[in-house]
Amino acid sequence: MTCIPAVVIPVFNHGGTLRAVAEGALRFCPRVIVVDDGSTDGGPDTLQGLALRLVRLPRNRGKGAALRAGASAAAELGATHVITLDADGQHDPADIPRFVAAIDGAPETVIVGSRDFAAANVPALSRFGRAFSGFWMRVQTGLVVDDMQSGYRAYPLPVFSLPGFRETAYAFEIEVLVRAAWAGYGVRCIPVAVRYPEPGRRISHFRVVRDNIRISLLNTRLTMRALLPVPFHASAGDAARVSWRRPLFSLRLLLKEDPPAQLGRSAGIAMFLSALPLPGVQTVLLLLAIGRLRLNRLCALAMIPLGWPPVVPGLEVFVGCRLRSGAWLTEFSVQTLGREASERLLDWLAGGLALAPLFGIIAGAAVWAAAKGAVRLAACGGDCDAAERSPARKGAP
């Protein structure tokens, strides 16, 4: 595959640095697109005489919208990839050849420029945002990305046509990485230089309250989507939902992805985590485990309802009471479940730590055995079909 990159520079009121950034980009790539996202400072007018394409949006729509408009323009120029960098001068255009080399080596991968935060004047908010977004990327995809908020990136052009995008501002740069990973694209980082002006001289259009709220809501939405036991290419209402209520259908679907041993391992670890007495925390732990341990995502997520009340927590409280007091809990009343709630929580903790490994072993063994049986049944069915079609079965000589 011949990779043809185009550089996209979104700009909104960075007239003081725009021309220098554009000139730097032209030194390393002949296809440069500047997207004016409704600037009012006359910055795009400083580009006169430069051999680039200027796309003007009629009003300020946000960085995400500007990037998608730039990707559309790049497609018209015949590009296969876009390299995006900010117009404020913090990115060094001299790093463009590093992105081009990375694209040539991995054309189906999104390349993220990991900024050198040892540089001077790095804002504390940028350091926090980098760690915060990186954590949620790992929860939602299982991937470790050093710098989720870097705007210096290279994308395969089809990434911008993926379904489901809802963000148009800064949060788009988080959403696009998550959805690209879900779609099967690789995501990797390369080191890049960064330059931040002295405090008070930097022009930033990131609105701390509004944009952080949008990013938090986006992470909530993406995490909830990651928890659905539905393939990422399908909608939430797709019939291909994996559920313990439809075991045969679900097994056939899961066996297309992994062998029985991997399905059993995924189910066992997921059931163990779901049975732990850590309400709310199990979900995050499970998502992290899916990525870190390479579990079958659909199989693991299908285990979550089995850990819901009342059965599993009830058994844990029942056994925990025995472990702590030496007697079984036989009375279920306002006294034992209401006034003694703190005691029941301790019972749940003790019983959960004791039973969670057992539940994991049982679930893993059951899924493994069922999957093995399904494989044998499918093999037998195939052999029987072949035998039925055999001439000897029809009495042929």
pLDDT in tens, 154-209: 999 999 999 999 999 999 999 999 999 999 999 999 999 998 876 656 666 666 67
Per-residue pLDDT at 339: 86
Q: Could you give the C-alpha distances from 33 to 5, 15, 36, 87, 120, in angstroms and in order?
A: 11, 16, 10, 12, 29
Distances (CA, A) of 90 to 2, 6, 247: 30, 19, 54
Query: What is 260-272 written as a DSSP string?
Result: HHHHHHHHHHHHH
Which residue in 142, 129, 173, 128 sits closest to 284, CA to CA? 142
CA 225 to chain centre: 10
| pTM of the predicted protein model | 0.81
Distance CA 278, CA 262 (A): 25
Burial of 83 (0-12, 13-18, 19+ CB in 10 A): buried
Q: Which of 135, 9, 162 lies closest to 74, judged by CA?
A: 9
Q: Are 53 and 71 in contact (CB under 8 A)?
A: no
Q: Is the peptide bond before 191 cis (omega within 30 degrees of 0)?
A: no
Task: For the domain covering 5-226, report its CATH number.
Answer: 3.90.550.10
pLDDT tens by residue, 335-390: 888 889 999 999 999 999 999 999 999 999 999 999 999 888 877 765 544 444 55
How far separated are the first and last CA of the chain, in Å rounded?
54
- What are the residue boundaries of the structural domains of the chain, listed by start? 5-226, 247-394
- Nearest in space to 141 (alpha carbons), one of 189, 182, 191, 197: 182
Low-confidence ranges of the chain (pLDDT < 70): 120-122, 124-125, 198-208, 233-241, 244, 381-397
**Rounded to an integer, what distance in angstroms lies between the CA atom of residue 82 and that of residue 35?**
13
Cβ proximity of 42 and 116 under 8 Å: no
Give dist(CA 302, CA 230) in Å, integer.
9
What SS3 state is found at 324?
A: helix
Pairing of strands 81-84, 186-192: unpaired
Among candidate residues 323, 330, 312, 311, the one with its CA nearest the CA of residue 347: 323
pLDDT of residue 198: 66
pLDDT attached to residue 393: 43
Per-residue pLDDT at 211: 80
| 3-state secondary structure (DSSP) of residue 34 | strand
Tell me which amino acid residue 122 is.
V
- Among 387, 321, 383, which Cα is nearest to 351's? 321
Give dist(CA 98, CA 108) in Å, integer. Answer: 16
Residue 396's pLDDT is what? 41
Q: How many CA atoms lie within 13 A of 86 on its CB side?
A: 24
Q: What is the gyration radius of the CA atoms in the chain, in angstroms?
A: 27
pLDDT value for 130: 82
Residue with token string 């985590």: 273
Spatial distance between the Cα atoms of 244 and 351, rounded to a whole number of angstroms: 24
Beta bridge partners of 156: 81
